[in-house]
């Protein structure tokens, strides 16, 4: 991947072009999480409807074989859409204050 921060002008791709795909995976947008809260999954309540997965704007819902596993906090910006979209009778996702977690990401 292009090292944008350290690449000199002669080797940096011109025009601000990113000459490869999938680079957003390496960009940890989780540190934008400024709302003070992050989502937490209650595994026993989750019915794996995947409403959260389809609604998440940052591809921060981790799934495997159509099962909801949890959140990719490296990319979660804490918008809370997942908690809002989780069906009212399920309510498996809760937004929790950041200080209750040990790590920042």
Residue numbers 16-75 binding another protein by CB under 8 A: 16-21, 23
User: Which one among 1, 13, 31, 67 touches another protein, defined by CB under 8 A?
Assistant: 13
Nearer to another protein, 15 or 88 (CB): 15
DSSP characters for 35-104? SSEEEEE-TTT-----HHHHH-TT--EEEETTEEEEE-TTT-----HHHHHS-TTT--EEEEEGGGSSS-
* Largest distance between two CA atoms of the chain: 58
User: Which one among 5, 34, 64, 99 touches another protein, defined by CB under 8 A?
Assistant: 5
Nearer to another protein, 23 or 42 (CB): 23
Closest-CA residue to 80 (of 31, 40, 43): 40
**Least separation in angstroms between CB 85 and another protein:** 27
Contacts with another protein, residue ranges (CB under 8 A) = 4-5, 7-9, 12-21, 23
């Amino acid at each position: 991947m292009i090292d944008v921060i350290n690449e000199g002008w002669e080797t940096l791709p011109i025009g601000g072009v990113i000459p490869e795909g999938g680079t957003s995976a390496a960009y940890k947008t989780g540190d934008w999480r400024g709302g003070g809260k992050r989502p937490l999954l209650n595994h026993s309540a989750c019915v794996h409807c995947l409403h959260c997965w389809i609604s998440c704007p940052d591809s921060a819902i981790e799934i495997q074989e159509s099962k909801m596993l949890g959140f990719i906090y490296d990319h979660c910006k804490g918008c809370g859409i997942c908690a809002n979209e989780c069906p009212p009778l399920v309510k498996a996702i809760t937004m929790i204050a950041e200080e209750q977690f040990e790590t920042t990401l």
